[in-house]
Structure 1
Amino acid sequence: MDFSKNKYEDIRISVPWGHISGRWYGNRNRRPILALHGWMDNLGTWDLLIPHLPKHIGILAIDFPGHGQSSHYPQGMQYHVIEYVTVVMHIIKKYNWKKVSLMGHSMGCVVIYIYTALYPSTVDLIVNFDVVKQAFRKADSEIKRLQGSLIQRSNDITELENKSEPKSYEYKTLEYIIHKGSGYSVDVNNSKYLLCRSIIESQISPKKYYFSKDKRLKYYEPFTATYELTLELNKRIKNIPYFLVRGLKSLFLNEDSSEVLKILRKNNPHFEYYEIDGTHHLHMNNAEEVCKHLNPFLSRHYSAEFNSCLIDANNNINAKSKL
């Protein structure tokens, strides 16, 4: 099942534990924007947005390890958002990019935030949907999360050793599971764009399917930083064209992010923030509305005339054609 109507080339990038699966959409004659999906999603998350983007833009969308059609980590390993930062670094090295343009949703935005704060001189453009950073957690709730997570991991080790086929469902039920599992953020009718890369037909139950994503993803480790460290990291993100849009029906950008947004605005004259009606998956459900704001930003900072942009000491955009 492939519901994408966009032109693309399938990409497979070798890594020590297997491969990273991806698709390069659109323009192949210039460095693309690297697109990073959210937790438990996959690169299908971009299929509804891409048709509305300017035609000169290429998008290299990947499935993070454990998601979509990318390899799972070996047994005994655990998923951590920091490891996804190293995946970005691996792709940059693979294509020998001197700069990278990044687009993310949800967890993908957190990966972008960490990478950009650590290596700001290598990033020339950011597009983020509904998240800036990892949410802060109170100490007592974080302790309870770690306790439950460690118990579940130990239980899953035993279950994985049995290697039995996971529970399977009818396709219509899977659509609702995606809808409900996203906190009712993904429209039921759009669930198929995520399902097409995350289910396998059952060999036991005819006409039923099971989820192929790694079960250990449920207990992945987020990037937990102190308030002080978060602010210092954000101060390092300067003078980079930065687009952020929030869905008004989502709670991911709230007062918890207010100080971070203040710093980004202060340090970055090329920071643009918008709010539109929509849920956390606004880039899927409201793609056309999102692009009313996004496309003018891309026209200014990722034009058809050049491959990269540099910002001088006076905060002026200078075109420079290079990888």
Structure 2
Amino acid sequence: MFTEIQIPVPWGHISGLWYGDRSIQPLIALHGWLDNSGTFAKLAPLLVEAAGSVLCIDLPGHGRSSHLPAGILYHIAEFIRVLTRIMQYYNWSKISLLGHSMGGGVCLYFASLYPSKVDFLISIDVVIRRINKPNFAVKALRYTMEKALRDNQRLVDDTSNEEPPSYTFAECERRLYEASGRSILLENCKYILERNISKSRIFADRYYFSRDTRLKYIMDQQSVEALGKAMAMRICAAKLPYMVLRGGASSNIGPDSLKIIGWLTEDNPNFETHLIADGLHHFHLNQPEATANLIIPFLKRYRPQSLGDGAQSDVSSELRSKAKL
């Protein structure tokens, strides 16, 4: 059903799950904060026929992708650059984007910076990650800096290689369920945990969370309203096809994001938004069929023109592209 792939980067590799025909350039799917490509485990197979193929990426520090080196601050900008690295690796000139939560924010930032490099974008329960008042942005920046400095120093000082606290799988499910604000149904936690935990070397039948703990204090794109509007207007000017799916039982899309939706609605004829009335923040994982039923018609309208580009072969393109990184 899918192929596990690794894309080399200077600090290690980016892992991903490629669904469908690898000779077809894929729809690229980016997960939310502290999740991984497992978040699309139920949705991606439903999209393959319309999309041709789907490549779900583990962003740095998440899932099975390499952690950034000690001393480095995690920043959303690095996730934006991951998309550029993937394009260089496979020698793609344009990409099609799907993102949930933080991943959808990354897609928006990339599309606003490089609208000519994007076929379309689909955002699941997100428009923009943050629109902050300047005073709050200053406080958030200082707080993140202090926490990141502490966590990086801990990595440098800890030479014991001690294993993190471990839990039974059921306990891991419960912890993820609660940490998600109960937006991931308990029975669906396993799809994210498969790439989020490692088996304990000390205790039988116990696991520890293996994602990079520094992600808790990631540096976000600190947007003010004027910047948010400028990014939206660049997407509008390019008339980029853009779909936002909202969860009616989720609070992730607030007044500021609704303001951006208003600008996009007024100035981009290729923008559309849809509501899943009872959808929680992870409705794409809990209600994949309902989500796919909204996405597939959009793919059929805007995806066909890029299917002929191809992935330029699985192996030869990868070998040619390694020299570019």
- Give the Å deviation of 1:143: 4.3
Q: Is the 8 A contact 1:54 1:295 kept in 2?
A: no
Higher relative contact order (CA 8 A, sep 6+): 2
- Give the Å deviation of 1:280: 0.7
Query: If each structure's helix is expressed as a fraction of its own residues, which one has the higher value?
Result: 2
- Give the Å deviation of 1:147: 4.1
- Give the Å deviation of 1:233: 1.2
Q: Choose from 19, 28, 49 the match for 2:13.
A: 19
- Give the Å deviation of 1:125: 1.4
- Give the Å deviation of 1:274: 0.3
The reply to whether residue 236 of structure 1 matches residue 230 of structure 2 is: no
The reply to whether residue 64 of structure 1 matches residue 62 of structure 2 is: no
Which residue in the other structure is 2:281 paired with? 280
- Give the Å deviation of 1:255: 1.3
Which residue in the other structure is 1:271 paired with? 271
Provide the rounded CA distance (Å) in 1 between the counterparts of 2:77 and 2:62: 16
What secondary structure sits across from 1:167 in the alignment?
coil
Quick one: which amino acid aligns to residue 271 of structure 1?
Answer: F
Quick one: which amino acid aligns to residue 112 of structure 1?
Answer: C
Structure 1 length-normalised TM: 0.89
Within-5 A mapping of 1:211-230: 211-230=209-228
Deviating more after overlay: 102-111 vs 156-165: 156-165
- Give the Å deviation of 1:35: 0.7
Provide the rounded CA distance (Å) in 2 between the counterparts of 1:29 and 1:155: 45
CA 19–41 in structure 1, closer or farther in 2 if over 3 Å, else same? same
Deviating more after overlay: 248-257 vs 147-156: 147-156
Q: Gapped runs of 5+ residues in structure 2?
A: 311-325
Aligned residues: 303
Which residue in the other structure is 1:322 paired with? 309
Within-5 A mapping of 1:125-204: 125-160=120-155, 161-162=157-158, 163-204=161-202
Q: Is the 8 A contact 2:26 2:54 kept in 1?
A: yes
Quick one: which amino acid aligns to residue 227 of structure 1?
Answer: E
Structure 2 length-normalised TM: 0.89
Quick one: which amino acid aligns to residue 114 of structure 1?
Answer: Y
Which residue in the other structure is 1:295 paired with? 296
Provide the rounded CA distance (Å) in 2 between the counterparts of 1:158 and 1:82: 22
Provide the rounded CA distance (Å) in 2 between the counterparts of 1:214 and 1:259: 34
- Give the Å deviation of 1:158: 4.3
Q: C-alpha root-mean-square deviation of aligned residues, in Å? A: 1.6
Identity of aligned residues (%): 40
Give every structure 1 segment of 4 or more consecutive aligned residues whose post-TM-superposition deviation is greater than 6 Å. Answer: none
- Give the Å deviation of 1:92: 0.7
Provide the rounded CA distance (Å) in 1 between the counterparts of 2:227 and 2:151: 33
Provide the rounded CA distance (Å) in 1 between the counterparts of 2:135 and 2:211: 30
Provide the rounded CA distance (Å) in 2 between the counterparts of 1:69 and 1:293: 30
- Give the Å deviation of 1:138: 3.6
